[in-house]
Structure 1
Amino acid sequence: MNIQHHNKQLSITKAIGIILVVIGHSGCPELLNRYIYLFHMPLFYMAFGYFYKESYIEHKKEFIQKRFKGLYIPFVKWGLIFIILHNLLGRIHLINVNGGGYETYYNLLMYLKAIRAVITLAMPECLMGPLWFLESLFVSSILLLLLDYIVSLVASGKKRRVLVFTITLILFIIAFITTDVLEIIFPRRLNRDLGCLNFIYIGYLFSRIQSRLSYKPLITALCTFLLFITAYIWGTISITDFSIRNPLITGICAIMGWFSSMGTAKLIEQHCGSLSDFFDYVGKHTITILIFHIPTFKLITLITIFVYNFPISKLASFPVITPTGLWWIVYSIVGVSIPLVTVWGIKYLKKGKALYTTKQ
């Protein structure tokens, strides 16, 4: 398979994306939330597609193994950890266990059901809610490889790319019709994963013409402004359940979000020195932040409980307690920084241990 070289601009773009994910879950102001949800998840699908290669169809086993290790294994591993801790988390009020379904204390049968759900790419645990993206990206990446392989049997070169793009666009529209119009939800939200193939492939196509794409400040500012205007006038979307409302507006917003984020990343890379290194570091640890920002939020929720004298049961609020004032800023800072500091600390301890062992 092709060796992928580090792309700092794209890494910073991923950092922008994951920071927006955290802010979107933090109870931020409504307009900001609408703006974020217009494009932040399509941005991640497109960033993933940016590194897709047509040659992967000649290395299918390696491709699948890499996606299995990088997406499926983290999803299942952390899902099982949250399941094991489920009853304990309920007793200390970190999750709600007073509802129905999986929101109750587990007995042996419920543990087995939850384990089966995670292994088959469902999400019974509320604290692993954001991990739906790992499941979706895993399924979508395998589907894209399959589609590309089938198309490669009948077409090559530009015709192959046009055909794959056309099919993913049709699937995008079908996913919209089944979800928003007919209100049909496929098992494991397969309609969402099929629809998002188009975002991934657009990212791949952008990578092929990267030298011709312009990320000038004016275009960056214009796309950002238009996204805010769209959020204010039209509203927003939800990729989680593929409630996109209008496929044309959603597609345009996804592309504007790409140019807005990549343009901002370019400015940071070129003019912000050490700050660009920080964003690059964030971009390298997006999955860590994705997994741990919701559990980290509980620290701030606990503080707000003491400050406002809320009942301790409010600690189970998901993803945050009822927004109050500027607490969303604190949630956002902690949701990004604590996972990063934890990762840095673990690496530092391992490095120190290895150095000590070598001296011995």
Structure 2
Amino acid sequence: MKKKRLTWVDVTKGFLMILVVIGHYPGELDFPLAKYIYWFHMPAFFILSGLFFKPVFEKGLMKPTIHKRFMQLIVPYLFFLVSITLIRYGMEIGSGNRELSWYLNDLWTLAVGGRFIRGAYGVFWFVTTLFFTYLFFLWLTKKFNRKKQFVILAIFYIIAHFESIFAMHVIGGKPSEAAQSIPMIWNIDVALMAIVYFAIGYYLKDFWMGISKRWMAAAFTVSVTAVLLDSFKVIDYRLSMKFLRYDHFLLDLVIPLSFTILLVGAFQFITARLSLSWLRKIEQHSLSIMYLHIFADIILNDYFTYGLIGFTAIGLFVPIIVSILINKLLPHGKLLLGGFSPKKKSEPIPT
């Protein structure tokens, strides 16, 4: 049962990672594919992350639990951040950029992170947000009973929407620029929204483990209706967690959940019949794909011309190759790719 469960989770995450790559395609498409991908792919990642959350109640286990999560998320984050930055700076120096103020300003932006770093670092916000979402939820489940947890989550959800209203309608302008008008290191404030999706994965664990046909049908109906209403301009729904754009208090739950239910249910059905090992392989290298797919395009698009398919292929295969090389050639390569596992304390042999 456990093996089957992990199979569909890995396959779903692998497919979502492909959507992440497609969502960053810089070219124009006739169909607003990226818009619909953004409706659900990031919430789905947080939901699936919450699915396997384990609360910690013992005092002595809190510190090692946080340390483990730090090693799995923040160490690879810093590794890829520094690696990409060194290559970028090498390219800048090679092109003749010797302006010290440019490098100092860039380093400050990289330190702040989150929505303030763009270009090659476009998805780095997700990891820091996930880390703080995990910490917040760890604190929530340890300090409060279930009823108080729900109340606090509701307050977080409301605060997140008020922040979005302030950014999108009071500050106004482009969402990316409006969000950057609100100072925040590492997109910690986005955790106020992310923790709600994370909690849905955790609290509804039994539901996610086996999506029924009835729920699949309902999710399909809601998802198709939302796309049709959007295509006929009855609604203009958008969701951008990175840039604090939460357009609708109700739809920000309904639409991401319906698409995630549909996706998870579909892969539970398919993986019961097919292995889809290629999607599992993608999931195994998802960290490198996330960090490197945009940077791979930045380096290669000066030498090659390609459309969406070529962009997606480069965004998947180049990071996978780099991931394999890191694991095989660099000391502690597995650790740098998020493969940290704490050493189990050996128990004394009874005499």
Q: What is the TM-score with the length of structure 2 in the denominator?
A: 0.76
Q: What is aligned with 1:144? A: 137
Q: What is aligned with 2:247? A: 245
Mapped pair 1:86 → 2:88: yes
> Is 2:288–2:322's contact at 8 Å kept on the other side of the alignment?
no
Mapped pair 1:228 → 2:232: no
CA distance in 1, matches of 2:274, 2:28: 26
> Is 2:47–2:197's contact at 8 Å kept on the other side of the alignment?
yes
CA gap of 1:10–1:34, structure 2 versus 1, over 3 A, is: same
Structure-to-structure mapping, 1:44-55, within 5 angstroms: 44-55=45-56
CA deviation after TM superposition for structure 1 residue 175, in Å: 0.9
Q: What is the TM-score with the length of structure 1 in the denominator?
A: 0.74
Mapped pair 1:171 → 2:156: yes
Which SS does the other structure have where 1:302 is aligned?
coil
Q: Deviations over 1:215-257 (max 9, x none)?
A: 6764564454245335434332111012111121111112112
Structure 2 counterpart of 1:205, from 203, 206, 229: 203
Structure 2 counterpart of 1:133, from 126, 136, 160: 126
Structure 2 counterpart of 1:256, from 255, 258, 263: 258
CA distance in 1, matches of 2:264, 2:53: 18
> Is 1:128–1:291's contact at 8 Å kept on the other side of the alignment?
yes
CA deviation after TM superposition for structure 1 residue 73, in Å: 1.3
CA distance in 1, matches of 2:56, 2:296: 40
CA distance in 2, matches of 1:62, 1:32: 42
Q: What is aligned with 1:17? A: 16
CA distance in 2, matches of 1:230, 1:57: 49
CA distance in 1, matches of 2:183, 2:108: 18
Range 256-265 or range 225-234, more displaced: 225-234
CA deviation after TM superposition for structure 1 residue 259, in Å: 0.7
Q: What is aligned with 1:341? A: 321
CA gap of 1:192–1:279, structure 2 versus 1, over 3 A, is: same
CA distance in 1, matches of 2:4, 2:68: 16
> Is 2:48–2:201's contact at 8 Å kept on the other side of the alignment?
yes
- The amino acid of 1:268's aligned partner reads I
CA gap of 1:293–1:32, structure 2 versus 1, over 3 A, is: same
Q: What is aligned with 1:293? A: 293
> Is 2:128–2:188's contact at 8 Å kept on the other side of the alignment?
no
CA gap of 1:347–1:179, structure 2 versus 1, over 3 A, is: closer
> Is 2:293–2:315's contact at 8 Å kept on the other side of the alignment?
yes
Aligned length: 308
CA deviation after TM superposition for structure 1 residue 131, in Å: 0.9
CA gap of 1:90–1:204, structure 2 versus 1, over 3 A, is: same
CA deviation after TM superposition for structure 1 residue 212, in Å: 5.8
CA gap of 1:119–1:292, structure 2 versus 1, over 3 A, is: same
> Is 2:201–2:208's contact at 8 Å kept on the other side of the alignment?
no
> Is 1:39–1:257's contact at 8 Å kept on the other side of the alignment?
yes
Mapped pair 1:187 → 2:181: no
Query: Structure 2: which 5+ runs fail to align?
Result: 172-180, 331-351
Percent identity (aligned): 21
Q: What is aligned with 1:358? A: none
- The amino acid of 2:184's aligned partner reads P
- The amino acid of 2:37's aligned partner reads I
CA deviation after TM superposition for structure 1 residue 173, in Å: 1.6
- The amino acid of 2:189's aligned partner reads N
Structure 1 counterpart of 2:64, from 62, 65, 69: 62
CA distance in 1, matches of 2:328, 2:252: 43
Which SS does the other structure have where 1:343 is aligned?
helix
> Is 2:219–2:261's contact at 8 Å kept on the other side of the alignment?
yes
RMSD of aligned C-alpha atoms?
3.2
> Is 1:83–1:114's contact at 8 Å kept on the other side of the alignment?
no
Query: Structure 1: which 5+ runs fail to align?
Result: 98-103, 308-325, 351-360
Q: Deviations over 1:35-63 (max 9, x none)?
A: 10111111111111111122466521122
Which SS does the other structure have where 2:243 is aligned?
coil
Q: Deviations over 1:144-184 (max 9, x none)?
A: 11222221xxx3xxxx1x43133212211211112224558
CA deviation after TM superposition for structure 1 residue 84, in Å: 2.7
> Is 1:8–1:269's contact at 8 Å kept on the other side of the alignment?
yes
CA distance in 2, matches of 1:241, 1:76: 22
CA deviation after TM superposition for structure 1 residue 263, in Å: 1.9
CA deviation after TM superposition for structure 1 residue 186, in Å: 5.0
> Is 1:148–1:164's contact at 8 Å kept on the other side of the alignment?
yes
CA gap of 1:226–1:166, structure 2 versus 1, over 3 A, is: farther
CA gap of 1:212–1:74, structure 2 versus 1, over 3 A, is: closer
CA distance in 1, matches of 2:120, 2:209: 41
- The amino acid of 1:251's aligned partner reads L
CA gap of 1:272–1:118, structure 2 versus 1, over 3 A, is: same
